[in-house]
Chain A
Amino acid sequence: MPRRRDRFDGDFDEVIADARAGSARAFERIFTTLSPVVTGYLRLQGAAEPEDLTSEVFVAVLRNVGSFDGDEAGFRSWVFTIAHRRLLDERRRAYRKPAPAPLSETPDRPAPDDVERAVENLLSAAEVRALCVRLSPDQRDVLLMRLLGRLTIDEVAAALDRTPGSVKALQRRGLRAISRMIEREGVPL
């Protein structure tokens, strides 16, 4: 069953109208609904301080929500576009690319021949982050926007200033790269 893209339980129009009017409750609703996925996006992108960056994103969102005009999908796309731009700003400030997670931080994995234990274990969050960091930046942008922001191909293409065809290609290559890393390195699933 496809997951539901509606995160506001059908109340988006009301919430956004209240937010335009300056309602603190609407502000809080927007923040509590979207901030976890924005934080997850920034964390998997390798942001140094994802929570601080999330606050910056929502300060900008709430201050300018009066200028937004669109539906929920457009609002999510707008929020993720701001988050992505903030991430780029942070990287420019740091003058470096996100460093791959050191091997010491990855948990111990079972031996490849221990099939039972491998089956029982799932990828931990640290392993997922390590896999994401090893993707190319373009592939990572596309996959995380699609999975966490639940954006369509066209929305991702608009957010990243790309064509839908290039977004599709990046998505396919990113998933294949993940598959290869999991197979070659014996990541238990």
Chain B
Amino acid sequence: MTPRGDHEPAMSATPLLDDDAIEAIMTDAAADLAGPLVAFVDLVQAEGAGAPPPPSPILARLLAEGAAAADEGDAAAALPGHDAPTARPGGAAVYGRRDDAADATAQPKGATAPAPVIADLPARLPAGAAARGGRRRRRNMVARVAGAGLAAKVALGAGAAAAGVLGAGVLPGPAGRVARDAIEAVTPIQFPRDDHPADDRPVEGRGGADSDPGSGADEPGEHGDRVSPDATGESDGQPGVDGPQVAETAPGADERSGDTPATTDPPRTPSSTVPPSAPGQPSDPGAPADPGPPPSIPSTIPAPPTTKTAGDAPDRGGTTQTTP
């Protein structure tokens, strides 16, 4: 059976070559025969008949010094990553990487840079290893989150969202503290403890011109921590604060008139029966500065009114409202 592709010579002028003819051509035994193949063989062999090529510097050193240079090369080749070719009895070589330390120093065309010495590693680490370590840590964290359960992912997402809300200062102080405590209880997130957190820090003008930012009197979370001198009677000898009066330390002092004690109008709701122009009411522009005891309020409310002061502390002097 003729091998595939061997049909063409039947139509060709080139004679079909048998093994003997081929061997004669390859060994120059057919030199007396004229033919394209013989000429081709001659020209191929002429390619290997030139002068020796110029040796590389490493080879030139080997040729000049002999085994002394070869021994140095062997020592260099013993470095990690340098596999020297080994001869087998049959002549075939078992070959590994061709890199030699000496080759690297010669830097022939296409040669790679010398292999890094292990002692140089610490000096090289800060340049690229830190970034690689950061990337590796991020990859590990992403993989850990991806492998977590659904509940853990939900909790982690909720915690991250709440931490973002708190960090942005969206929630007011007390709500923020509650949310912070809740987050700290159910997640490993710990918020920094600060005596004056950013969201509770007094803002200039927030408590009025007369307010003391450092006193903490305006801080809603510290209601009741301090007792006003008006409440204790140290200021005027009379304990307590009249309902219509507003303490000077109350918010909005700068908006109130200086001499006339500013009061806050009660909310005008349809159920309120308090006439806006009733004597002694804060809304009365002609009301005296110290109206004395609160007048009895004509009211249709059958039950005794529950007096509720805006703010829990009497010193706040906040708005006094009469609510059903």
Chain A residues close to B by CB (< 8 Å)? 1-3, 21-28, 31-32, 35-41, 43-44, 48-52, 54-56, 58-60, 62-65, 67-70, 73-78, 81-82, 85-86, 89-90, 93-94, 122-125, 128, 131-132, 143-144, 146-148, 155, 158-159, 161, 168-169, 171-173, 175-176, 178-180, 182-183, 187, 189
CB distance from A59 to the nearest CB of B (A): 5
A-facing residues in B47-81 (Cβ within 8 Å)? 47-56, 58-59, 62-68, 70-71, 73-74, 77
Chain B residues close to A by CB (< 8 Å)? 3, 5-6, 8-9, 12-14, 17, 19, 22, 25-29, 31, 35-37, 39-41, 43-56, 58-59, 62-68, 70-71, 73-74, 77, 84-93, 95, 98, 100, 102-103, 108-110
The 8 Å CB contact of B91, one of A22, A24, A74, is A74
Whether A147 contacts B62 in the complex (CB less than 8 A), given A31-B52, A73-B91, comes out as no
Complex A-B, nearest 10 residue pairs according to Cβ-Cβ distance, in ascending order: A22-B67, A40-B48, A24-B66, A37-B48, A77-B91, A40-B47, A55-B56, A74-B91, A179-B14, A51-B53
- B59 adjacent to A59 (CB under 8 Å): yes
Whether A43 contacts B47 in the complex (CB less than 8 A), given A78-B93, A172-B22, comes out as yes
CB distance from B61 to the nearest CB of A (A): 10
Interfacial chain B residues near A86, Cβ < 8 Å: 98
- B14 adjacent to A158 (CB under 8 Å): no
Interfacial chain B residues near A68, Cβ < 8 Å: 87
Interfacial chain A residues near B53, Cβ < 8 Å: 35-36, 39, 50-51, 54-55
- Mostly helix, strand, loop or mixed at chain A's interface? helix
The 8 Å CB contact of B9, one of A1, A25, A169, A176, is A176
Which residue of chain A lies nearest to B52 when distances are taken between CB atoms in the complex?
A: A35
- A22 adjacent to B68 (CB under 8 Å): yes
Question: Can you show 14 pairs from A to B with CB atoms below 8 A apart?
Answer: A21-B67, A24-B64, A37-B48, A40-B47, A52-B56, A70-B87, A86-B98, A147-B26, A148-B47, A171-B22, A173-B6, A175-B37, A178-B36, A179-B9
Q: CA separation between A117 and B98, bound complex, in Å?
A: 48
- B63 adjacent to A27 (CB under 8 Å): yes
CB distance from B111 to the nearest CB of A (A): 9
